[in-house]
């Protein structure tokens, strides 16, 4: 394999949890990009408290930036995983997901979980992408 196919690019969001837990917002190896669980926060502080749709929008904007920083885009996303602390929020969250991915239509899962690190986080999303073409 050549160096381009095996080079590991780590993308940071600046989250204070990254060095503590030992993770990156996104990792790219070859044409594969994995974006880790992303919540609606800035500097580790929750945003849009109490509003699952607004949190989803903030999360997907963070994911879009992580993808761009890795040389990918939303169009390259092949799978998302959405975690909710209250499954009753599925429709509000799903509608925002559809605003970002309506034409892309990645494989997707939506699951209810018992909670996140911050009780103010209502949604967490992961994304996997495969970059096509000659993007670096």
For strand 77-84 and strand 107-112, is the pairing parallel, antiparallel, or unpaired?
Answer: parallel
Nearest 5°: phi and psi at 78? -110, -15
CA distance 49 to 117: 14
CATH topology of domain 3-130: 60s Ribosomal Protein L30; Chain: A; (3.30.1330)
State pLDDT tens for residues 25-75: 999 999 999 999 999 987 667 888 999 999 999 999 999 999 999 999 999
Radius of gyration of the chain (CA): 15
State pLDDT tens for residues 97-136: 999 999 999 999 999 999 998 899 999 999 999 998 644 4
């Amino acid at each position: 394999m050549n160096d381009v196919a095996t080079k590991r690019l780590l993308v940071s969001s600046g989250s204070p949890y990254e060095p503590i837990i030992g993770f990156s917002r996104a990792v790219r190896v070859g044409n594969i990009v994995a974006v880790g669980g992303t919540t609606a926060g800035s500097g580790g502080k929750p945003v849009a408290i109490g509003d699952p749709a607004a949190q989803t929008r903030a999360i997907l904007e963070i994911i879009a930036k992580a993808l761009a920083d890795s040389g990918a885009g939303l169009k390259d996303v092949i799978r998302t995983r959405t975690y909710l602390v209250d499954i009753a929020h599925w429709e509000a969250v799903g509608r925002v997901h559809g605003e970002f991915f309506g034409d892309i239509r990645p494989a997707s899962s939506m699951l209810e979980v018992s909670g996140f690190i911050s009780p103010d986080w209502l949604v967490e999303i992961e994304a996997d992408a495969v970059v096509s073409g000659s993007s670096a």
